[in-house]
Amino acid sequence: MSDIDIPALRAELRAWLAAHWQVDQGLVAWREKLVESGWGMPHWPREWHGRGLPVACVSALEEEFEAMGAVGVARAGIRLLAAATLLEHGTDAHKQRFLRRILTGEDTWCQLFSEPGSGSDLAGATTRAEFDGTRWVVNGQKLWTTSAHHADWGLLLARTDWDAPKHTGLSFFVIDMHQGGVEVQPLKQMNGHASFNQVFLTDALVPAENQVGNTGDGWKIAMTTLAHERRNADALRRWGQGSGRAGRIYDEERAEIATVMEPYRWYPQRTGRVDLLLPRARATGRIADPALRQDLASVLMLSRASEWLAQRARHAKENGKPEGPEGSLGKLVASHVARAAARVHTAIGGMDAMLAGADGAEQGLVAEILLSVPATSIAGGTDEIQRNIIGERVLDLPREPRTDAGPFRDIPRNPPRGR
Amino acid sequence: MYYGYSPEQEQFREVLARFLTERAPISAVRAQMASDRGHDPALWRALAEDLGLTGVHLPERCGGQGFGFEELCIAQEELGRALTCAPFFATSVLASGALMELASEAEQDALLPALIAGERLAALAWMEEDGQVAADATTLGATRSGEAATLSGHKHYVIDGLAADLLLVVARDSADGALGLYAVNADSPGLTRRALATIDTTRRLAALEFDGCVARPLGAGRDFAAGFARLMDRATIALAAEMMGGARALLDQAVDYARLRMQFGRPIGAFQAIKHKLADLLLEVEVATAAVRYAAAAVDADDPEVPALASQAKAMAAEAYLKSAIDSIQIHGGIGFTWDHDSHLWFKRAKSSEVLLGDAAWHRERFLALTEAAA
């Protein structure tokens, strides 16, 4: 890191951008240039569309992009998780075939991990992949698959050995989503949105060369994908804001963002929207109610303090200190905040809390809050799983005795779910 | 923004924690709880002379260390964790704080050095029988005659009021009704002191009766209302810091016990019923600690939000400390309800801290009113 001259790098990128960036060009054509130059993913290896620079340089270089208003490589959705997984575990042929079109945005990806029968216990997947001598034949059902309806490729976790223990009987594949054996149906949630899909796999085919890693390595590889998920979520939040600028390439980028972000429109509401509590309590006059004031104060305090807790965690991490318990507590405290906020929103609304849409408070936004908050304590690891993690990894409490050792075939599991 | 402790602050904390573990273990706490005085003068001298703790946040010209409010809160956190029986909150937080906020510089120079040196103890007497935190409720009257005054009336809930050599009394001038701070020596004629029976015998309370006691008015020319408000905000945050130290001690004890206690063939911490309870407790303690430390750092930064932050800190600390005490006893099971087990000592401190300087509901209301005013 010490031998990297960041100002010189910035100047080099600035000069390159000055020579190549222009608004009046196609999004894919521009990204081809980013891929060829390596400036699109500067921390990737030189032989794979990068410049082999340390990750620590990336934020400085991103600032140069922002200063110029230049669009970056495609980042949306699962594609960068797929790229990171293939960079680490894929063959050169995989990288040759997939990475470039990931970065240009030509291909869209999805993640086929969760199943109706394996949620918190992801390693309990029962989608089966059987080798017929030339290719893998896949049967099963996947769930919670964002963007599956417009994905070109899927990262697939499937069971290849039923006699091996749970975690070692899984393998990892790249599956072509455009085939008859793959059927995608939207999954409607309790808040009326359909952000996710269920994917039915019926004799779906995966050529032998699209297996990633060795048979039995599926769990290890899936962990790589999931490890990148959190970092990607942060990047996505920044990217998802898009640009208000005029010009052909910005129009194309905005269209891309709109497609990808559409499933996430309700996401702000699942936090409980603490920001709306005080203004709504005032506007409705409910702020005069002493009982409501107590609850309102509690949730405002909890929300502020949890932000300070997160700041401390970030600060400690940036300063190279081992991550304290603050980090792993963030997810659980967010659930508490969301639930408490929903309760206060209900109290503020009174009878109006029964109404939705145009008849509901804030044109139905409050109803959407009330119906979205339950997702917070489930998605991305339930509160109960978080408590296990905190208990075992932070407080160092003993684990529960396992009852899922031995051949996977013999482990009690859920019956298959019908359509 | 305010982050974790600096390496120097962390080192200070460790030195103090080690000192208290050696010099004031829980056996010493139990001995002092049963004693008449309620604290060990030798320990107090050591805290003052060896560690300089009594003046950690006070000016060097008076013999203090000149560190910030954060350092005071670190001291409070460790004293709360160890449940140390010492007149620190009364003398170093409340009384010394009152002199800093309400007395003139000359009066500070005259009175603080003996407090910092550990030679004299002091107590702040402001609450009366109605237990109101605000000074406005004061009825105790002061009759001025030249440079001196005489005090008549009652004070209640005076922390370490019996042990104090110097009493700093909030009184109302009977001529113009103005509130002020008055210094009274503990041996003044006309002063009667009575110990109040308390749930928490690690924190002694007294009732004081003044019958024409000679007193010295302090702080001529200083704005009493503003100074007293600042004093209460600081004392509230310092108390919250002490509470979080206690909460952390209870959490640690419960976790240790859950790792070791075997039932049904496994450590009870392996059961989710216990594991999840402890995870929730850690969450509550960490979040409240974040609020308290943020508030402490805000004092040093002269943040205008300090009043709201003080209320937030105390409200969250009160809930977290009480939950720690209740859950810790619950996780210890039957043994946790016995006198010989130590959990109840912190439980009692949690109870007394819960209502001292305003309970959680009072602070939530105050926080919201301040937040509304700022929004």
Of B259, B280, B365, the CB nearest to A397: B259
pTM: 0.91
Confidence bin at B222 (pLDDT 50/70/90) = very high
CATH code for position A144? 2.40.110.10
Confidence bin at A242 (pLDDT 50/70/90) = low
> How many angstroms separate the CA atoms of A143 and A417, rounded?
11
Residue A405: inside a domain: no
Among B49, B71, B67, B45, which Cα is nearest to B58's? B67
B-chain residues near A306 (CB < 8 A): 287, 290
Substitution target from A289, A304, A377 for chain B, most B beta carbons within 10 A: A304
> How many angstroms separate the CA atoms of B331 and B321, rounded?
15
B-chain residues near A398 (CB < 8 A): 259, 266-267, 269-270
CATH code for position A371? 1.20.140.10
Residue A364: inside a domain: yes
Among A201, A213, A195, which Cα is nearest to A177's? A201
Label the pairing between strands B179-185 and B191-196.
unpaired
Tell me, yes or no, whether A174 and A67 share the same domain.
no
What are the tens digits of pLDDT across the range B11-61? 999 999 999 999 999 999 999 999 999 999 999 999 999 999 999 999 999
Question: Which stretch of A200-214, A244-258, A373-387, B353-367 has the lowest confidence by average pLDDT?
Answer: A244-258
Q: CB–CB of A257/A240 below 8 Å? A: yes
Tell me, yes or no, whether A65 and A99 share the same domain.
no
A-chain residues near B358 (CB < 8 A): none
Residue A52: inside a domain: yes
> How many angstroms separate the CA atoms of A282 and B308, rounded?
19
Q: Check pLDDT > 50 for residue A287.
A: yes
Tell me, yes or no, whether A199 and A317 share the same domain.
no
Q: Which residue of B has its CA nearest to A386?
A: B279
A114: containing domain: 79-231
CATH of domain B123-222: 2.40.110.10
Q: Burial of A93 by CB count in 10 Å (0-12 exposed, 13-18 middle, 19+ buried)? A: exposed
Distance from CA of A273 to the nearest CA of B (A): 17
Tell me, yes or no, whether A219 and A306 share the same domain.
no
Of A287, A311, A400, the CB nearest to B3: A311
What are the tens digits of pLDDT across the range A311-370? 887 777 777 666 666 667 999 999 999 999 999 999 999 999 999 999 999 999 999 999
Of B266, B279, B287, the CB nearest to A305: B287
A299 in contact with B, Cβ within 8 Å: no
The answer to whether the CB atoms of A391 and B286 lie below 8 A apart is no
Confidence bin at A237 (pLDDT 50/70/90) = low
Tell me, yes or no, whether A44 and A94 share the same domain.
no
How many independent structural domains does chain A possess? Answer: 3
Superfamily, domain B7-120? Acyl-CoA dehydrogenase/oxidase, N-terminal domain (1.10.540.10)
Tell me, yes or no, whether A119 and A67 share the same domain.
no
Distance from CA of B24 to the nearest CA of A (A): 26
Question: Hey, which bits of A143-195 come out as E strands?
Answer: 153-159, 170-176, 182-187
- B112 versus A242: which is more confidently predicted? B112
pLDDT at A1: 45
Q: Burial of B23 by CB count in 10 Å (0-12 exposed, 13-18 middle, 19+ buried)? A: middle
B257 in contact with A, Cβ within 8 Å: no
Among B249, B234, B189, B216, which Cα is nearest to B92's? B234
A-chain residues near B365 (CB < 8 A): 290, 293-294, 297
Among A44, A64, A46, A63, which Cα is nearest to A54's? A44
Superfamily, domain B225-374? Butyryl-CoA Dehydrogenase, subunit A, domain 3 (1.20.140.10)
Residue A37: inside a domain: yes
The token pair that represents A207 in the structure block: 């050529």
For chain A, what is the mean pLDDT? 91
The token pair that represents B53 in the structure block: 């703790």
- Residue B310 CA: distances (Å) to CA of A66, A343, B213, B226: 40, 25, 34, 15
pLDDT at A146: 86
In sign, the C-alpha dihedral spanning B39, B40, B43, B44 is positive
pLDDT at A233: 55
Of B293, B294, B364, the CB nearest to A294: B364
Residue A241: inside a domain: no
Tell me, yes or no, whether A184 and A104 share the same domain.
yes
Tell me, yes or no, whether A276 and A383 share the same domain.
yes
What are the tens digits of pLDDT across the range B101-139? 999 999 999 999 999 999 999 999 999 999 999 999 999
Helix (H) or strand (E) holding B43: helix B41-49
Percent pLDDT > 70 in chain B is: 99
For chain B, what is the mean pLDDT? 97
The answer to whether the CB atoms of A397 and B364 lie below 8 A apart is no
Residue type, B85: C
Question: Which stretch of A2-11, A79-88, A344-353, B75-84 has the lowest confidence by average pLDDT?
Answer: A2-11
Helix (H) or strand (E) holding B266: strand B266-267
- Could you say which of A211, A231, A251 is where a domain stops? A231
Mean pLDDT throughout A25-44? 96
Tell me, yes or no, whether A17 and A103 share the same domain.
no
What are the tens digits of pLDDT across the range A207-232? 999 999 999 999 999 998 988 876 55
Residue A406: inside a domain: no
B3 in contact with A, Cβ within 8 Å: yes
Mean pLDDT throughout B203-223? 97
Mean pLDDT throughout A268-292? 97
Among B78, B33, B340, B81, which Cα is nearest to B203's? B33
DSSP string across A382-397: -HHHHHHHIIIIIS-P
Q: CB–CB of B167/B121 below 8 Å? A: no
Residue ranges of domains in chain B? 7-120, 123-222, 225-374
Tell me, yes or no, whether A129 and A60 share the same domain.
no
Phi-psi region of A321 (alpha: psi -120 to 50; beta: other; left: phi over 0): beta
Residue A84: inside a domain: yes
Q: Check pLDDT > 60 for residue B238.
A: yes
Residue A27: inside a domain: yes
